Amino acid sequence: MKLTWRGSVLVLVGLSAVMGAGFVAAQTYPTRSIRVIVPFAPGGATDVVLRLLAPRLSENLGQQVVVDNRGGGAATIGMDMTAKAAPDGYTLGVATLTFSINPNLFSKLPYNSEKDLVPVSLIAIVPLVLSLHPSVPVRSVKELIAFAKARPGSLNYSSSGNASASQMAAELFSSMSGIKMVHVPYTGGGPALLAILSGQVSILVGAIPVMQPYFKSGKLVGLGVTTAKRDPAIPDIPTIAEAGVPGYESREWQGIVVPAGTPSAVISRLNQAFVKVLAAPDLKERFAAAGAHPVGSTPEEFAAHIKKEIALMGKLVKEAGIRIE
């Protein structure tokens, strides 16, 4: 179809109006409170991290940031609510390691993890620590691997549930070290901790603030940190990679996503707010108390992180035969 001079002008005017409206919206955003959906019950590490961030974000953005806990369905309920919210920047969701596990675990999700939700920023990394009951006669990662290889299937480990971060870290350790351990899932981190303290299981890969007091008292032995670098809270405990499994790295993480279709200018504004808030020195100390380390990334860096995690979790889910009961 050939446009007349008048038609061309009208098209340009229309496009200018649309672009102008988007520009104005981005310039004035936000004009009301922002909801952050945490897909877990209150009190967990993800909830704690977001509640530390919320007041700082409110100050930065000039509008109240409200944490809304919507747990259940292995985090799918909260993520589905986020994906189906209006793409206007007023509903954010918190993606965690579970977000990268679920596409590999469920035959069908109510949303598409990579198409219906857009990354804003990776906000925190949560290191874990491979912990051992002192009755097991080993005191290093290399000794543990040798012990397990000599007695296939004799060691068991607890976790906070099927497909949890603690299970995935333990399964990656098993896969990369070539050993076999028996998984004993519990209904949360508390019961999983009690299981190893009582000697019902031999191993637990758990959060550092939770495990650290038991290292000091001698009730548990810390063998290796799951991240690529040693953790400042327990500097004497080596990483699993340096202690005998080169290349090993596993951790819980949290990041912010928004519904697909959210204007890029709004995503940019949110990203700037998160990155600035996460850089505050005092916040680093408060995060550390919760076992987390602030990050702050570009949307592109977070997107690459999610893609890598989905691929890795897919491999682990298949190898370990993990399924939701």
Contact status, residue 144 vs residue 131, Cβ threshold 8 Å = no
* The total number of structural domains that make up the chain: 2
User: CATH no. for residue 228?
Assistant: 3.40.190.10
Residue finishing a domain among 208, 243, 278: 243
Task: Give yes or no: residues 227 and 267 share one domain.
Answer: no
Please tell me whether residues 160 and 232 are part of one structural domain: yes
Which residues sit opposite 121 in a β-bridge?
A: 256
**Per-residue pLDDT at 9:** 47
* Structural domain span for residue 197: 128-243
Terminal Cα-to-Cα distance of the chain (whole angstroms)? 58
Contact 49, 287 (CB under 8 A): yes
Judgement on whether residues 196 and 210 belong to the same structural domain of the protein: yes
Of the candidates 140, 42, 92, 137, the residue with the CA atom closest to the CA atom of residue 273: 92
Tens of pLDDT along the chain (325 residues)? 454 555 554 445 454 544 444 454 557 899 999 999 999 888 888 999 999 999 999 999 999 999 999 998 889 999 999 999 999 999 999 999 999 999 999 989 999 998 999 999 999 999 999 999 999 999 999 999 999 999 998 999 999 888 899 999 999 999 999 999 999 999 888 899 999 999 999 999 999 999 999 999 999 999 999 999 999 999 999 999 999 999 999 999 999 999 999 999 999 999 999 999 999 999 988 998 888 999 999 999 999 999 999 999 999 999 888 887 5
Phi, psi of 192 (to 5 degrees): -65, -40
Tokens standing for residue 24: 């104005």
> What is the model's pTM?
0.86
Q: Is the residue at 8 inside a domain?
A: no
Is 61 part of a structural domain of the chain?
yes
Domain boundary among the residues 195, 213, 243 is at 243
Does residue 177 share a domain with residue 94? no
